[in-house]
């Protein structure tokens, strides 16, 4: 117990903790991010309604305005959509899907990028050339085009009955394939520096295998930049998923994300039901902004040149 207390005190007295305490915008963004993630994770516990249970929906409550506008109901604080679903509840559930897709896509792209970056930086030569040229080709195609291609291939390969169920994984694949290059380039550059250091040479002399050198010695020294990229990439991945869903290439109505909710409400903007798309859009902006602020702070803290 005493060791745990000492470790907590050491963390509290560290430079990282001090820089965090002296950055009010970062503290505010972190609090907002924690609240949003909690609301998404505990949506089934704290959401006022279950918007995806048909037995609880009442079509007579469709398109109700927020509670502070004439015609609103205290049962639905932010109003309802065209199906009578509570907007606040759909935001909680939709945000959960957006965050899960973002985290899974970043994890997928990070795994591919880190592995290829380690191999390219350590082996060099023609292996490095091939991997980096593949990255250059990858960067020449926008994410939307890659998503269109992967979505088209998935529709051809998968049976009709499985397309909607597998859309979650298709979106993750589309975003992950489009974003691996930045991880690969960052890890490759760090690996090329680390492989020339004395501890790597000592490991080779000791006949340590190349795979073990990569995982046990070089990889830990690239974690800092990778974590920064992953944090910043999370916001980009969430935003990309929202764009894809808005264009009809993302999550299906049975698993709506924030982008799907914005798209559904966009068709009703001209009829006056602005709250159906405005509130999910505001939640998306708040979520991505909080992630980006925390990511920028991590980049500044972990990069000595920016201090």
- For the segment 174-191, what is each residue's pLDDT rounded down to a tens digit? 888 888 888 999 888 888
Q: Are 113 and 180 in contact (CB under 8 A)?
A: yes
pLDDT the model gives residue 7:
65
Average pLDDT of the residues in 191-205:
76
Report d(CA 237, CA 258) in Å as an integer.
13
- pLDDT higher at 1 or 78: 78
80 phi, psi to nearest 5 deg = -130, 165
Burial of 113 (0-12, 13-18, 19+ CB in 10 A): buried
Residue 80 has pLDDT above 90, yes or no: no
Give the confidence band of 63 by pLDDT, cuts at 50, 70, 90. Answer: confident
Residue 170 has pLDDT above 70, yes or no: yes
Give the confidence band of 93 by pLDDT, cuts at 50, 70, 90. Answer: very high
pLDDT the model gives residue 37:
93
Task: Name residue, tokens 């830990």.
Answer: 220
86 phi, psi to nearest 5 deg = -70, 125
Average pLDDT of the residues in 64-87:
85
76 phi, psi to nearest 5 deg = -125, 95
Rg (CA), the chain: 23
Report d(CA 211, CA 221) in Å as an integer.
15
Structure token digits, residue 33: 């991010």
Instruction: Name the residue among 139, 137, 161, 163 with its Cα closest to residue 150.
Output: 163
Residue 165 has pLDDT above 80, yes or no: no
pLDDT the model gives residue 111:
92
């Amino acid at each position: 117990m005493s060791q745990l207390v000492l470790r907590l005190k050491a963390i509290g007295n560290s430079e990282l903790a001090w820089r965090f305490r002296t950055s009010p915008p970062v503290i505010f963004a972190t609090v907002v991010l924690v609240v949003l993630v909690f609301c998404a994770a505990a949506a089934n516990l704290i959401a006022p309604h279950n918007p995806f249970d048909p037995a609880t929906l009442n079509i007579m409550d469709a398109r109700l305005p927020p509670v502070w506008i004439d015609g609103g109901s205290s049962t639905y604080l932010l109003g309802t959509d065209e199906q009578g679903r509570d907007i606040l509840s759909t935001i909680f559930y939709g945000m959960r899907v957006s965050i899960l897709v973002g985290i899974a896509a970043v994890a997928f792209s990070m795994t591919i990028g880190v592995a290829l970056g380690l191999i390219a930086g350590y082996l060099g030569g023609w292996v490095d050339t091939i991997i980096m040229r593949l990255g250059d080709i990858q960067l020449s195609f926008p994410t939307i085009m890659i998503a269109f291609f992967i979505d088209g291939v998935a529709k051809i390969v998968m049976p009709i009955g499985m397309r909607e169920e597998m859309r979650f994984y298709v979106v993750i694949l589309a975003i992950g394939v489009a974003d691996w290059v930045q991880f690969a380039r960052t890890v490759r550059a760090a690996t090329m520096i680390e492989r020339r250091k004395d501890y790597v040479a000592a490991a080779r002399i000791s006949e340590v295998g190349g795979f073990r050198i990569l995982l046990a010695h070089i990889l830990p020294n690239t974690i800092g930049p990778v974590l920064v990229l992953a944090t910043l990439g999370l916001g980009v991945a969430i935003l990309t998923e929202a764009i894809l869903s808005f264009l009809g290439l993302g999550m299906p109505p049975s698993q709506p994300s924030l982008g799907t909710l914005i798209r559904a409400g966009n068709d009703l903007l001209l009829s006056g039901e602005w709250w159906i798309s405005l509130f999910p859009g505001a939640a998306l902006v708040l979520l991505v902004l909080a992630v980006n602020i925390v990511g920028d702070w991590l980049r500044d803290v972990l990069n000595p040149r920016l201090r």
